[in-house]
Amino acid sequence: MDIWNFQTQLTRRLTFWSLASIAFGLPILTLNPFWRGVGIQFIAWGVIDLLIAIIGAAAMKRRKARLTPDELTAAAPKETANLKRILLINTGLDVLYIAGGIALILTLGTNDVGWQGHGWGIIIQGGFLFFFDLFHTQKLR
């Protein structure tokens, strides 16, 4: 496996998800308060994920540009280990995001459907990212 191509594919997939989240979130902003909460979360997470993808791709290109072809090959194990560590940390954070969404539903959401929507939006986004990060971690084995 070429870690550089793997990272490119990963950032493309994250970019696609972020743009899809934004595209889905925008039209549901006009619906009832529950869906408005979901839409706000989809847009916010989509923007953040898009920034992460852009910054990650740019950082990888800078690292790659500094290396000769032989150095690219030699750097691959370290690059793989670093990416795997980041994905594992993110997988743990994703669990916290999901828990935060559940907590939001069970607290502020008990009396407000808008907050329930925010909670569900966080759960959906965190759930996707959990499987996204876990899937890519497993592909690095």
For the stretch 93-134, pLDDT in tens is 999 999 999 999 999 999 999 999 999 999 999 999 999 999
Run of H or E residues at 108: none
CA distance 136 to 3: 12
Q: What is the pTM of this model?
A: 0.90
How does pLDDT run across 16-71, given as a tens digit for each residue? Answer: 999 999 999 999 999 999 999 999 999 999 999 999 999 999 999 998 899 888 88
pLDDT exceeds 80 at position 141: no
Residue 127 CB-half CA count within 13 A: 9
> What's residue 69's pLDDT?
86
- CA distance readout (Å), 59 to 18, 21, 53, 55, 64: 19, 24, 10, 6, 9
pLDDT exceeds 80 at position 4: yes
